Amino acid sequence: MLKTYLAPAKINLCLHVLGKRADGYHELAMLMQRISLYDRIGLRLSSKPGITIRCAGLDLQPNQENIAARAARALLDAAGVKSGVEIEIDKQIPVAAGLGGGSSNAATVLMGLNEMLGLGLGNQALRKIAVILGADVPFFIFGRPAWATGIGDVLEEVVGLPRVWYVLVNPGIAVSTAWVYGNLRLTSPRPDLKIPRFSGAPQEAVAVLHNDLERVTIPRHPQIGEVKEVLLAAGASGALMSGSGSSVFGVFTNQADALRAAQSPGLKRDWKVFVVQPVQGVGTISV
């Protein structure tokens, strides 16, 4: 039987690059939040060993696996389970867009298979598997707004974030995260930042908006800066590029203003526009 789960996207309300580590990774401090834009992940257990994956538009070479398939294999190996798994992905989250779609898919596969196989692995155990797959994957298992440090894998819950609405715009540009970090020039090491505190006031979401990667991505892709300008002109109280780009979100205090802004004539026809809000709750979202 096929069981379907929703894999949410994420945005970075702030992204600070503190310095470069000896292992080549960057030390980060980020505020991350899941949003109500989802890929649909279908999982089916099979008596035939092996992992098969189907996704419209996904072109995998022979013996090549994407991150969702690697997640399934990692969980089966860790649990010593010989079942086969069929994965069907309906992609709605833009790819290479700063929204963590691949990482969310991997986390959803881990949590979904844990549930379907009755393995009983807790959040911490799943996150230990997840970090091997990618730095953002543990966040989606953590399942709450988080202050992420280290390479993004050290997570602390953030409470009191305001219940705002976001207009999310993707201009159709694929941005390489590796290229962005490879071209980031750090002037000097920065001290650790403290976890922000919130009381739920909408303006607090705008006050923290910051992304060090904009200074690399926007000069290379000026359309991202154009999206920010359009969202601010449409009434957003703040706008920011998410992750390494290319998606941009604008902050709105209510749904009506967000829906109105999503119809702004300044938004180009070939841009993808979504009106979303924060995702609540922990664990898998099954449908």
Residue whose structure tokens are 């939040």: 33
Active site residue 20: no
**Contacts by 188-192, CB closer than 8 A, 24 or more apart:** 189/18, 189/19, 190/16, 190/17, 190/18, 190/19, 191/18, 192/18, 192/29, 192/149
- Given the residues 10, 39, 212, 228, the one annotated as active site: 10
Q: Which architecture, in CATH terms, is 165-276?
A: 2-Layer Sandwich (3.30)
Q: How far apart are CA 211 and CA 188, in angstroms?
A: 17
According to CATH, where is 3.30.230.10 located in the chain? 3-158
Predicted confidence pLDDT, tens digits, the chain (287 residues)? 899 999 999 999 999 999 888 887 889 999 999 999 999 999 999 988 889 999 886 665 555 578 999 999 999 999 898 889 999 999 999 999 999 999 999 999 999 999 999 999 999 999 999 999 999 999 999 999 999 999 999 999 999 999 999 999 999 999 999 999 999 987 666 666 889 999 999 899 999 999 999 999 999 999 999 999 999 999 999 999 999 999 999 999 999 999 999 999 999 999 999 999 999 877 677 77
Selecting from 3.90.230.10, 3.30.230.10, 3.40.190.170, 3.40.50.1820, what CATH number does the domain 3-158 have?
A: 3.30.230.10
pLDDT at 283: 67
SS3 content of the chain, % helix, strand, coil (to 5): 30, 30, 40
Q: Model-level pTM greater than 0.75?
A: yes
pLDDT at 168: 98
Active site residue 10: yes
According to CATH, where is 3.30.70.890 located in the chain? 165-276
3-state secondary structure of 165: strand
pLDDT at 121: 95
- Given the residues 20, 59, 128, 136, the one annotated as active site: 136
Q: Is 203:236 a contact under the CB 8 Å cutoff?
A: no
The secondary structure element, H or E, covering residue 11 is strand 3-20
